[in-house]
Amino acid sequence: MIMPTTSHNLAEQHYQGGNCHITVKYLTMTKEGLSPNDPSSHSHPEDCRLVHLDLELNADFNKHIFSGFAHLTVEKQKDGVDTVVLDSKDLKIKNVTDQSTGQHLSYSLGDKLEVFGSRLEVRLPTANGNKLNISIEYETSPQASAFQWLTADQTAGKRQPYLFSQCQAIHCRSFVPCQDTPSVKFPYTAKITAPKEITLLMSAISTGSETDSSDNTKTIYRFEQKVPIPSYLIAIVGGDLESRDIGPRSKVWSEKEFVDAAAFEFSETETMLKTAESLCGPYVWGRYDLLVLPPSFPYGGMENPCLTFVTPTLLAGDKSLADVVAHEISHSWTGNLVTNKNPEHFWLNEGHTVFVERKIKGRMYGEPYRQISAAERWNELQQSVVDVLKNGPYTKLIPDLRGVDPDDAFSIVPYEKGFTLLYYLETLLGGPDEFEPFLKAYIEKFKYKSIDSNQWKDFLFSFFQSKVDVLNKVDWDTWFSGVGMPPIKPEYDESLAVPCQELCDKWSATSDSYLSQFSANDILKMTSNQIRIFLYKVLLLESPLSLIKVKKMEELYKFNDRKNSEIRLKWLLLCLKAHWEDSIQYALKFVNEQGRMKFVRPIYRALYAWEGSRDTAIKNFLSKRPEMHTTTAELVGKDLHLGSS
């Protein structure tokens, strides 16, 4: 065996905040363990790097596995290197060969670490040149964390089974043996065989399909992604899918039950793309298609190149859809084109993407809309930082993630703390006319590359050479490494929130005996965003509304009838905070009908916090866990203090 041993020890850090004490457990790794450049990867791309991937796989919808070959082109980065180190998780490695000669290559598979999988080390062929081609024959596990396999009965149409992947943050290693770190980018091609009733799509351009000559019950699909991407952006979906054109370079895909509604809702996609191009430069990916996934998808959206995945909870007919689509479109530049080097610098992806997203919305819907979006999310950031994360280690813009599952550290912080830093810098450096050229130059400078925060900061200083004295006054240590809220709170234009605050104050100040002054007309002229802001402001009241008031609010405003998921979330949290027993059934219905973590986790936490609903919540979760996405189930289990599944 050529695999060096991996030593690790369990360590703890303790954080006290309010009435909550949290313990962060992490693995301390030796230099022979996880990579020194990425605390979430076994790979060592500084020695030998993956530069191209070609997949040749069969999708088995009965066994819930992929099997076949991964053909890797790797390039030595140093003299004397004779192995390549890859990430793998629950993969059955059958054989490794020199693709050119067919010669068998020796390899070793290390012990599995629960979160990070196993180190796969392959002895390289003895050939001239630094670029070498190896083929790995393998099979995925039915429990691979990258996939969710659904039966036909779990789909809207109940006609065909369904498969979708979610490789971010570090789940691609359960799909493909690869260097599963965002510091490594590579183009890929794929030839995937599936039952002929299944339509397959990937995060790449389709280059055709044909009936399998050896089995006419199957279809072979071919794909090519020419733009180098990190492993977490490899994506695949298969099911009974249809599409509609929504623009000159865009289609929307889903089951036929949703496709027409989705085409209507996503009709502004091309306008958003053009607006993003005016801010960030040319769109390099060719296609920009959208896929509406089944309700169990754990995120609002996932920025897979050429094929953005989105949740069906967006089909509610308001601007919450615009928020998500503008965000995922923005990732085409910030995240996909310029990528964080490792998960500790995740804010480079998400902070910039939120910044561009709000620029798009400001240009399309007006600056007040951008301002109120930022102000609303500031409040949500504050609640998350103080009440959920307890000003702990994951509130840092650049957290220490050694031995930490990136999914455990996932929160609003890199999004909104990152955005706040960029908004603050824009204000400090002279406004949009000064800062937007920097944004475009930053993307041009680092496109197709992966960077860290120091590289970003160095470029910022070089671009604004005439304003270095201004930049030197920024408290960079606190911004990057300080826990808690950002050191600076921007002054946002909150004029659109004035009627929301006034109505909130009125409900707060009015006695339970004088509620007749309220009527359904109170919110008649409010937009969905304003209703959401109103509910959030009520939630943040130091003295919670009485149960009598909450019941009166429902009588007048009919919030239980709302389809908008953002409004439902705020409303149900308010009801649970007031200990309204009737709301438990509505809360359970909400978490059972969709799996978006933004909604599911806060509801489960609220149900757990109330002793009257705790047992019901746990019982419901345990019964639904087999149907949930693995990431969602794992994190909700922790929210309910049940540990790992």
User: How many CA atoms are closer than 13 Å to the CA of 613, on its beta-carbon side?
Assistant: 26
Going by pLDDT thresholds of 50, 70 and 90, the confidence category of residue 339 is: very high
**Token representation of residue 21:** 């004490």
Pick the CATH number of 579-644 from 3.40.1160.10, 1.25.40.320, 3.90.960.10, 3.40.190.10: 1.25.40.320
CB atoms within 10 A of CB 133: 17
Cα(384)–Cα(28) distance, rounded to whole angstroms? 27
For 40-74, b/e burial (b = at least 16 CB within 10 A) is bbbbbbeebbbbbbbbbbbbbbeebbbbbbbbbbb
Q: Tell me the CATH class for 346-481.
A: mainly alpha
**Token representation of residue 314:** 């967006």
Q: Which residues are annotated as a binding site?
A: 166-168, 298-303, 327, 331, 350, 596-598
CB atoms within 10 A of CB 141: 16
Do 579-644 and 494-562 fall under one CATH topology? yes
Going by pLDDT thresholds of 50, 70 and 90, the confidence category of residue 8 is: very low
Give the dihedral sign, CA 231/232/236/241.
negative
Q: Which residues are annotated as a binding site for Zn(2+)?
A: 327, 331, 350
Answer with the residue of higher pLDDT: 127 or 488.
488
Q: Which residues are annotated as a binding site for a peptide?
A: 166-168, 298-303, 596-598
| Region 393-410 average pLDDT | 95
C-alpha gyration radius of the chain: 25
User: 77, 85 in Cβ contact below 8 A?
Assistant: no
| Preceding peptide of 59 cis, ω within 30° | no
415 among known catalytic residues: yes
* Phi and psi, residue 309, nearest 5°: -90, 135
Report CA dihedral (616, 619, 621, 622) to the nearest 10 degrees.
170
Active-site residue identified among 265, 328, 566, 634? 328
In this structure, which topology does domain 494-562 adopt according to CATH? 1.25.40
Indicate whether 419 pLDDT > 50. yes
Active-site residue identified among 26, 138, 415, 557? 415
Going by pLDDT thresholds of 50, 70 and 90, the confidence category of residue 388 is: confident
Question: What is the percent of the chain where pLDDT is above 90?
Answer: 87
What is the pLDDT, as a whole number, of residue 478?
98
Q: What are the domain boundaries of the chain?
A: 40-237, 240-332, 346-481, 494-562, 579-644
Indicate whether 260 pLDDT > 70. yes
Going by pLDDT thresholds of 50, 70 and 90, the confidence category of residue 492 is: very high
Indicate whether 643 pLDDT > 80. no
Picking from 186, 185, 212, the residue whose alpha carbon sits closest to that of residue 200 is 212
Q: In what order do the strands lie in the sheet with 301-302?
A: 242-247, 250-254, 289-292, 307-310, 301-302
- CA distance readout (Å), 338 to 14, 277, 348, 412, 640: 35, 15, 9, 20, 37
Q: Tell me the CATH class for 40-237.
A: mainly beta
Which DSSP symbol is given to 345? G
The architecture of the domain spanning 240-332 is: 2-Layer Sandwich (3.30)
Average pLDDT, the chain: 92
